[in-house]
Structure 1
């Protein structure tokens, strides 16, 4: 350890133990209590142990400097920037000022780069890296967001030490979100409390050079409440008296530390008071900057001798943040305005000049407004939207009434910046204020932004549509603005016909606008997509045209449309490639909402492709990501329910479906209604509750028809509906469903419609008492035409239906072969309920089916364990508890005659883990 910290052995010991264990540590207590001293002692100890220290100590003045704190933290890792993906590398150059910044800094990419650098130096076995922030509440907002994003993903592999001022320790929210989620469960909040008389004796003697009498020392300890900084100020006040107070006399009045400091300020020479006032009001005070404002270096000497400031080279800093705050509080309003003006007039940095102008200008001033707006644009480009928003607001306030265009642009920019910073509530208020203030096209822009904010904040679809329609009414017709609004309406609208019309208008209006190429490409994709959904012939040339126009910049409006289309055609590899391309771009930018959406799409794609372990991984990642940034969980819950239903865990799947339907009814959300109704139907069908399943699928069909959704690409429910109707004895509805499915197949033939039609005809022939032989031949041909790795669940279900049909017409050998094959295919997938049904049907043929070596769940546990996954990871991936994983592993070891994961891995590698 470096310097000795008096009276803090307990606090230091507790904090050190937590840091060694990877637990984040928050040192909290009132101003002046000694948090920084403890913080520095812990840093010295970590450095002595060879830890990598990534530190910053922001001040109140630096809160207006975007990424100032993050640059300090990441400086030791700057040489690793070359290893980052291009978007992250470019963004980090803007933070570290390590290269020319030619495009706006993407704040999400900064956060992703921060996480990537932390990951690069993190070790799994124990922390050896310490991220330390002294006085975290003064972090500039962009640094705070980037650190918040990164730290919650790397703890406990990286240790975290933070200090924060608090008069109510343990009661205030922790900085950087350290008290949330998994990090919150690890957080150790350490209160730095008052010092006792003995410790204060050493502190005061070191600070004042005088050993105070014990009675006086006790009184100072009582008056200061054990706060060392307040005790030092009290001791100095006492020592300035002509003689020490008598035992019964009052000490110098000290209602607060600020009052005591004000007394010290009053004792300074006028030039010194002027100098430190300028220093306190500066962004980052330097001797050169103060000299331009008329301050001589010697003017600071009395303040330095009094222990208020420190001068090191060109830098001027206050000995404690409280001192700077006390100085600012001591400046009268009129004087403060004049000093800000002086600093503005003498500043060389245009951003510092703009900040000072914003603080000293109250009347309309077009030149000042323009300077402040230019500074806002620079801050926005640097990835500091929150700071830029405040400057844009000031520019709009200071702009004279005649600068209508600039006022509109600045108001809109302020709202956009708040949206970009993720503060949707503030962005909503700013956008609504802009709507009230602006007219003409600018009002249309403001309304469009308001609709986008509502979309991101999960407001009701009806409200979002109403706002977007108002935007369209405010926009001049036949303009690019109108085209952009039509494109957004094409995405917001759920019904295909109006969505198609909006997309068509957007494509026509944006075709000649080079600045709107991504939105133009999105409009083409939405037009193609909604034409298909409306039942029109698929114009694939539109999709190709959109992909060509898109280039390397997919629009968030419709970037997933090609993948949804290819998945709808059962071209899973093309869909997978598109989604991974988009996901890699989103990861590089740090775009979590897009990552969440893409992981859900990947989960759905792998479910259809029969790669359920991969699907489970994507779904679990989407769940974790959504919980971290507060995404709507409906899609993840539906996918989890579908995976559970496929695996035969029907009670859990049904619970998810029921909860989802309740939420859909509460929100009047037709998308939620559709997905959870389909889940409820499948779970009921697999569980043998056939009338219930038929009812659910009937509701789903009615909802789809009500929307005019002729071709719901993502919903393939007719074969299940027909099976439920046949089982429930409703053959008239079953025949109507078969015709409905046949129409879908004629309009757009796909592997799933071919398999579904063949399966359905066999089922219906059997139910109507017709000879199913011709239908069975058709089913065999349909199965042969679909590769084994495409729709494996559908192919296995075809075998199950065929086996039952063969048994009913007394073709026992074909029945047994089909049912045994179905059981094996269900086993390979992990579809336990359907595998059990296939075995039961096979036994009814009079033959015997070999017992499985491993169940579906055991097989998946074995594969993951052999791949080196921990029990916790296996549990999260398969949605089971760690105890269930342990029980499955015990059975697996017993069945296979192995005793370790190494032996299990070898057995897997030899390919002798079977399922039948």
Structure 2
């Protein structure tokens, strides 16, 4: 046990709870076997949650587990950020100092935000990934500590938890995958009203299959009787049990209070209200002890002895006697560390605190604040700022509360507790007008905030402004996920700035609004960025000016790459250098390098990106370094250098995982999946895409992972899975913020799925949307595969009479677009030839020379799947009527090579096409797949003669009734034949069956 075994209950006997304890013991056993466990224990106040946790902890320790207890701390109405995790980690450090130090090695600066004993907290970068990074490192720390031993982390009183604690607990419950770990959290169910902040978390966790929720019910009469017997050490009279059971309604804590009151002979003085019942024991104490109890109640859920001594105003002997009386009456308990006091039950503390008069509460909070100001060592260092701010605020002294609240907000920010920072800043804005001008004049931005848009003034000598608070609160809202609150704050700030004449501050707020609009799916953010750009136009270089231009360049890179984006990036780099904005410069340089590659200046762009990567890694600029790994590898893949891309990405995985950069890691996995797909390492590509989905913190990297999986499913012939993943990608990308590369990725797979299902008109529609929009610079890497998919679909369907009308126009549009598309690398030169070859095939021109040149081009590239496909096409061209024996031998070898690749990749459509082509040509089987009679592809599919006739008419677009009329059968019989055909072909619809029939050449052009 990591805390002293205390008698927190009057009853020495543990009553009931056999089922609940059994659930906890089973979870412990599963954890010991290496399966992490997550449990929520809920119940009304006083029902026995803490007692159950104590019993479980003792049993766990007896089985060799290490148990760490942490509780949410309440100070007045405020909670301490991450308090239960800090306490639990501190306990683990005491019990396992070497193991925890080894698990935290290399990440002490970040983890010190939760456990200050690990060292000095690093400055860090405050971005959307900051809090997620801390959460990931915490999860990894716990997994490592629990790698070789069973660890139980019990977190009590979740109903008092601050938002940051709730977010961290949610993250742990969702992501823990390894380690012999049990995480158990308790909460007071009767406090979770409709608007309680814990309610959404409980609803979210209920949807997780890995989380077990236990609800403690009240005791029945028999259990109440056993509890009373344990308290009294004697069998109670049935009438007494009946009375106490009726009055307590089975609540364990109230049973104790009633039983003790009855035993002490004060039954007649009990009132009908439970609140008065809780105060009976307090009122029976000497006056001095009552005063100490009231002082402790207002100090928070735990009060240190030295702090209490400074506040109580009693001689030490008198204080000790008062505490002895309160402890002896089982009203107060000594804290586990032995340095302070807490109420035996929070219900008693709440009743005592509620009994205080308003003036009395303010006076007590003032005395706590004054004592803490006089001697900051009275409380733990990591709690000092938050507790001082809370005490002064509840003392109703704006002059003292405002600076204290601002200091606490900075502390919260440095711990990545952005939700608490936002709450404190809103409290500061509330206090602003109540504090005097003289007080406000003493405040400096550099001391009390970390975000202050430069306005040409020195923040060290300029007084803090209300707008500075609003700027800080807007960023805190964005980083904590409270984006609606942040948007409201920005709206108010921009309203104040309408008559202020400060374009730099206004531009900064518009930039923030742009990011929030995108994050809230309300638009692409360009209108807001454009406003910011206009505000700074013509102004001298400044940090805000450089930041605006960097945002504009980054936005344009993703939405509208071209000369304007390149110019904005160049100017952003120049301005950032002039004003010494180092991180903005790195961001802008990375964007500039990416745009250079898109513009065709490949080597210059790569050199710039590599330089940024090295510099950002050396400077420990985590966010820029993560982005550099992603952009550099993405650029390499864009010019066909997939092996180089994989090397960079593997290095990037080590870096992003080391520092817990979840979104950057997810993008690395996405790009790795794409490069592995190109290299023919499809199983690894699938694993990488799955990791992107699992590790992604935001929607877009998850969407990209879904696209990769959809493309893999398409290549392997699993059309339902391809369509499902495609729908997921559409949902994650959304429609509010369209980006060309995302739209083209989706369109590519959309066309492929539609063509494979025989929905050529749908494929043409998707193609038309893309061609109407065009291909911006840098998107040719998606453009060429997309044009190829469209041209191949037209060629495969050339025998379909129902689509002849639209084919010429479609082919002409593909040809015209291909003439304009960039071919800046050998892989895209080869794709240009491939698209032209497919267009010729769609027109019925299929010559061996065309495909032979294409095979030669792909043989020099590291694209095994593409090479296998063009080899199949060359073999098909060689096996036309009149092919000589030499061509047949060459075709057989080409098909053998293609089949080998298709089987290795699991590319079933390609493998089927190769097998059937070999069968039609009466060549030896080229695939290990079992086949029927090689003389007839229809027989190899198991189709009867009648089913072949029906399939021919299905391929011609006939309905069941038309088929029945032509074959002189009933419509019902025709329907049965169609169902049998779909089952034998392994397809889900008539269109897909028709597409397969024409793709496999079952019905040559002209056959009717």
Tell me the TM-score normalized by structure 1: 0.81
Q: Which residue in the other structure is 1:859 paired with?
A: none
Q: Which residue in the other structure is 1:64 paired with?
A: 79
Q: Map 1:553-702 to 2 at 5 A.
A: 553=621, 554-555=623-624, 560-626=630-696, 633-654=702-723, 656-657=725-726, 669=738, 671=740, 673-686=743-756, 692-702=762-772
CA distance in structure 2 between the aligned counterparts of 1:130 and 1:480, rounded to whole angstroms: 48
Q: 1:719 to 1:341 in 2, by over 3 A?
A: same
CA distance in structure 2 between the aligned counterparts of 1:659 and 1:128, rounded to whole angstroms: 38
- Cα deviation digits, residues 220-261 of structure 1 (max 9, x gap): 22011121221233345556667x55xxxxx722333x3322
Q: 1:741 to 1:532 in 2, by over 3 A?
A: farther
Question: Displacement, 1:488?
Answer: 1.9
Q: Map 1:33-48 to 2 at 5 A.
A: 33-48=47-62
| Among candidates 258, 261, 270, match of residue 252 of structure 1 | 270
CA distance in structure 1 between the aligned counterparts of 2:415 and 2:728, rounded to whole angstroms: 44
| Among candidates 119, 131, 151, match of residue 100 of structure 1 | 119
- Cα deviation digits, residues 827-875 of structure 1 (max 9, x gap): 22221101211222233333222441699xxxxxxxxxxxxxxxxxxxx
Equivalent position SS for 2:303? coil
**1:149 has 2:183 as partner:** no
Question: Displacement, 1:481?
Answer: 0.8
CA distance in structure 1 between the aligned counterparts of 2:694 and 2:705, rounded to whole angstroms: 10
Q: 1:110 to 1:668 in 2, by over 3 A?
A: closer
Q: 1:235 to 1:690 in 2, by over 3 A?
A: closer
Q: Map 1:788-803 to 2 at 5 A.
A: 790-803=862-875
- Cα deviation digits, residues 651-689 of structure 1 (max 9, x gap): 442455478669989658465543322112123445566
Question: Displacement, 1:140?
Answer: 4.5
Q: Which residue in the other structure is 2:99 paired with?
A: 80
Q: Which residue in the other structure is 1:892 paired with?
A: none
| Segment drifting more, 69-78 vs 138-147 | 138-147
- Tell me if structure 2 keeps the 8 A contact 1:762–1:802: no
CA distance in structure 1 between the aligned counterparts of 2:567 and 2:820, rounded to whole angstroms: 24
Q: Which residue in the other structure is 2:571 paired with?
A: 505
Q: Which residue in the other structure is 1:877 paired with?
A: none
Question: Displacement, 1:201?
Answer: 4.6
Question: Displacement, 1:792?
Answer: 1.4
Equivalent position SS for 1:95? coil
- Tell me if structure 2 keeps the 8 A contact 1:517–1:550: no
CA distance in structure 1 between the aligned counterparts of 2:583 and 2:407, rounded to whole angstroms: 27
Q: 1:187 to 1:545 in 2, by over 3 A?
A: closer
- Tell me if structure 2 keeps the 8 A contact 1:107–1:383: yes
CA distance in structure 1 between the aligned counterparts of 2:585 and 2:73, rounded to whole angstroms: 46
Q: Which residue in the other structure is 1:345 paired with?
A: 370
CA distance in structure 2 between the aligned counterparts of 1:324 and 1:629, rounded to whole angstroms: 42
Q: 1:584 to 1:531 in 2, by over 3 A?
A: same
**1:285 has 2:303 as partner:** yes
- Cα deviation digits, residues 114-164 of structure 1 (max 9, x gap): 22233224469xx93322223232345444433432243336853333322
Q: Which residue in the other structure is 1:479 paired with?
A: 542
- Tell me if structure 2 keeps the 8 A contact 1:804–1:841: yes
CA distance in structure 1 between the aligned counterparts of 2:736 and 2:515, rounded to whole angstroms: 19
| Segment drifting more, 228-237 vs 658-667 | 658-667
Q: 1:490 to 1:828 in 2, by over 3 A?
A: same
Question: Displacement, 1:40?
Answer: 0.6
Q: Which residue in the other structure is 1:492 paired with?
A: 555
CA distance in structure 2 between the aligned counterparts of 1:309 and 1:303, rounded to whole angstroms: 6
| Among candidates 829, 834, 848, match of residue 759 of structure 1 | 834
Q: Which residue in the other structure is 1:138 paired with?
A: 160
Q: Map 1:258-297 to 2 at 5 A.
A: 258-283=275-300, 284-293=302-311, 294-295=313-314, 296-297=319-320
CA distance in structure 2 between the aligned counterparts of 1:603 and 1:7, rounded to whole angstroms: 54
Q: 1:665 to 1:153 in 2, by over 3 A?
A: closer
CA distance in structure 1 between the aligned counterparts of 2:842 and 2:24, rounded to whole angstroms: 73
Q: Which residue in the other structure is 1:461 paired with?
A: 523
CA distance in structure 1 between the aligned counterparts of 2:842 and 2:236, rounded to whole angstroms: 102
Q: 1:676 to 1:711 in 2, by over 3 A?
A: closer
| Among candidates 581, 588, 594, match of residue 529 of structure 1 | 594
- Tell me if structure 2 keeps the 8 A contact 1:535–1:711: no
Q: Which residue in the other structure is 2:906 paired with?
A: 830
- Tell me if structure 2 keeps the 8 A contact 1:600–1:622: yes
CA distance in structure 2 between the aligned counterparts of 1:428 and 1:179, rounded to whole angstroms: 26
CA distance in structure 1 between the aligned counterparts of 2:733 and 2:134, rounded to whole angstroms: 37
| Segment drifting more, 43-52 vs 105-114 | 105-114
Q: Which residue in the other structure is 1:415 paired with?
A: 474
| Segment drifting more, 60-69 vs 27-36 | 60-69
Q: Which residue in the other structure is 1:886 paired with?
A: none
| Among candidates 390, 397, 407, match of residue 423 of structure 2 | 390
| Among candidates 292, 296, 301, match of residue 324 of structure 2 | 301
- Tell me if structure 2 keeps the 8 A contact 1:517–1:549: no
CA distance in structure 2 between the aligned counterparts of 1:330 and 1:796, rounded to whole angstroms: 82
| Among candidates 250, 261, 265, match of residue 226 of structure 1 | 250
- Tell me if structure 1 keeps the 8 A contact 2:104–2:111: no
- Tell me if structure 1 keeps the 8 A contact 2:297–2:353: yes
- Tell me if structure 2 keeps the 8 A contact 1:755–1:782: yes
Question: Displacement, 1:508?
Answer: 2.8
- Tell me if structure 2 keeps the 8 A contact 1:800–1:838: yes
- Tell me if structure 1 keeps the 8 A contact 2:521–2:736: no
Q: Which residue in the other structure is 2:142 paired with?
A: 118
- Tell me if structure 2 keeps the 8 A contact 1:486–1:502: yes
CA distance in structure 2 between the aligned counterparts of 1:368 and 1:174, rounded to whole angstroms: 28
Q: 1:26 to 1:4 in 2, by over 3 A?
A: farther
Q: Map 1:425-440 to 2 at 5 A.
A: 425-437=484-496, 440=502
Q: Which residue in the other structure is 1:814 paired with?
A: 890
Question: Displacement, 1:325?
Answer: 1.8
Question: Displacement, 1:768?
Answer: 6.1
Equivalent position SS for 1:783? helix
Q: Which residue in the other structure is 1:7 paired with?
A: 16
CA distance in structure 2 between the aligned counterparts of 1:805 and 1:85, rounded to whole angstroms: 63
- Tell me if structure 1 keeps the 8 A contact 2:43–2:188: yes
Tell me the TM-score normalized by structure 2: 0.74
- Cα deviation digits, residues 585-626 of structure 1 (max 9, x gap): 333333333333332222222222221111111222223345
Equivalent position SS for 1:53? strand
Question: Displacement, 1:346?
Answer: 0.7
